[in-house]
């Protein structure tokens, strides 16, 4: 039997010499292949640290769209071991399409609290961020805005800036409003916010804070880490002025807390280097990487006890985050997107 197989192999190789040369040689060094929705330059330093520590080489394809489709079509021959995403929505997308496998690691379980992991082990959160309100220091008094619900109050007419309602971060926020107020309540709220917008939704989160600085609007909706990226921006010092023109408001501190989102990782169903993939997640959830996330990118570490330093500690360590399950938010995203169309939020 064995010799027969050998013969067949030999035959195949002689019949298909071209195919044979195209098959990549079995890599000698250990590797892990990543499909990343996060920009390469953001994760590079952390991946370099991983390679240095473990000797495992990390290969990356970065794109903001299409990687899930690529993974799905490549099927069981896909070379990808790991998917990194910048939000919970995409993470659930990969999981719901059945493209992942459970991660089983005592190290990860010890590093990351249960509510930042999928109950079935299909994904792990690596960092957290909150979606908050940046308010003009000059034009908004302290305590004038307390909740997300307040954003729909007519007194803010013509004073709010935000990026597209369809952006993943806003869809999560609207998804959480659906969870708390039902679809009708959320629609009314979204209509109210739309009526208060100073301009058509455009640009990224940073551009909204810039608009506050420039007097286009008084309130901007944005993720927390952008504050650090602006305040400590040595390359573009004008961004420091943007950051200095606003106060950070963590909404709903009196009740459910500020809306939370995550970045995360999942191991692909047919990962050829599963072990290396799990090792990478172990590393990313470990003390060193978690500290780097906070220092380099101003995100919240999900590993308890990670020492916070500087800006994150000073401005963002003391607030109440919404404990709503990420699965619930993800479930509402489709409905949220339809609401955005329905109220013509982006038009």
Q: How far apart are CA 272 and CA 30, in angstroms?
A: 11
Nearer to other proteins, 202 or 317 (CB): 202
Strand, coil or helix: 42? helix
Q: Is there binding between residue 304 and other proteins (CB under 8 A)?
A: no
Q: Is there binding between residue 313 and other proteins (CB under 8 A)?
A: no
Residue from 54, 204, 247, 253 that binds other proteins (CB under 8 A)? 204
Shortest separation between residue 68's beta carbon and other proteins, angstroms: 9
Task: Tell me the number of residues near other proteins by CB under 8 A.
Answer: 63
Shortest separation between residue 242's beta carbon and other proteins, angstroms: 9
Q: Is there binding between residue 39 and other proteins (CB under 8 A)?
A: yes
Q: How far apart are CA 339 and CA 159, in angstroms?
A: 22
Q: How far apart are CA 308 and CA 93, in angstroms?
A: 31
Residue 221: CA atoms inside 13 Å, Cβ hemisphere, count?
31
- Distances in Å between the Cα of 44 and the Cα atoms of 36, 86, 293 are 11, 15, 11
Residue from 106, 154, 235, 318 that binds other proteins (CB under 8 A)? 235
Q: How far apart are CA 58 and CA 34, in angstroms?
A: 7
The full length of the chain comes to 347
Binding region for other proteins (CB under 8 A) out of 69-77, 116-124, 172-180, 321-329:
69-77
Maximum Cα–Cα distance across the chain? 83
Q: Is there binding between residue 27 and other proteins (CB under 8 A)?
A: no
Is 281 within 8 Å of 124 (Cβ atoms)? yes
Binding region for other proteins (CB under 8 A) out of 18-26, 103-111, 112-120, 255-263:
18-26
Is 188 within 8 Å of 152 (Cβ atoms)? yes
153 to 172, contacts with other proteins by CB under 8 A? Answer: 164, 166-168, 171
Burial label for 154, CB within 10 Å (0-12, 13-18, 19+), is: exposed
Nearer to other proteins, 127 or 170 (CB): 170
Interface residue list for other proteins (CB under 8 A): 5, 8-9, 11-13, 16, 19, 22-24, 33, 39-41, 59-67, 69-70, 73-79, 93, 164, 166-168, 171, 200-204, 206-207, 210-211, 214-216, 235-236, 238, 333-334, 337-338, 341-342, 344, 346-347
């Amino acid at each position: 039997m064995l010799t027969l197989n050998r013969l067949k192999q030999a035959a195949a190789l002689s019949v298909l010499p071209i195919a044979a040369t195209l098959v990549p040689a079995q890599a000698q060094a250990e590797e892990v292949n990543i499909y990343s929705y996060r920009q390469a330059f953001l994760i590079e330093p952390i991946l370099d640290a991983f390679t240095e520590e473990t000797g495992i080489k990390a290969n990356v394809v970065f794109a903001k769209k299409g990687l899930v489709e690529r993974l799905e079509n490549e099927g069981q021959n896909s070379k990808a071991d790991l998917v990194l995403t910048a939000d919970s929505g995409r993470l659930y997308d990969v999981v719901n399409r059945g493209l992942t496998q459970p991660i089983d690691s005592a190290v990860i379980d010890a590093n990351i609290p249960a509510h930042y992991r999928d109950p079935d082990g299909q994904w792990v959160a690596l960092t957290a961020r909150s979606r908050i309100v940046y308010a003009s220091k000059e034009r908004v008094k302290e305590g004038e805005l307390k909740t997300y619900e307040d954003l729909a109050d007519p007194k803010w007419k013509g004073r709010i800036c935000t990026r597209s309602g369809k952006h993943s971060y806003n869809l999560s926020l609207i998804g959480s409003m659906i969870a708390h107020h039902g679809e009708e309540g959320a629609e009314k709220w979204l209509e109210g916010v739309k009526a208060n917008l100073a301009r058509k939704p455009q640009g990224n989160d940073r551009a909204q804070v810039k608009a506050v600085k420039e007097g286009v609007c008084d309130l901007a909706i944005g993720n927390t880490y952008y504050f650090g990226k602006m305040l400590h921006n040595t390359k573009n010092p004008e961004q420091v002025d943007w950051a200095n023109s606003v106060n950070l408001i963590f909404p709903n501190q009196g009740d459910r807390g500020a809306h939370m989102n995550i970045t995360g990782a999942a191991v692909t169903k047919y990962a050829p280097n599963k072990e290396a993939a799990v090792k990478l997640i172990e590393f990313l959830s470990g003390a060193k990487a978690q500290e780097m996330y906070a220092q380099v990118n101003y995100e919240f570490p999900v590993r308890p006890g990670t020492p916070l330093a500087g800006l994150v500690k000073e401005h963002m360590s003391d607030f109440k985050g919404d404990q709503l399950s990420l699965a619930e938010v993800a479930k509402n995203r489709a409905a949220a997107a339809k609401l955005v169309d329905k109220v013509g939020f982006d038009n």
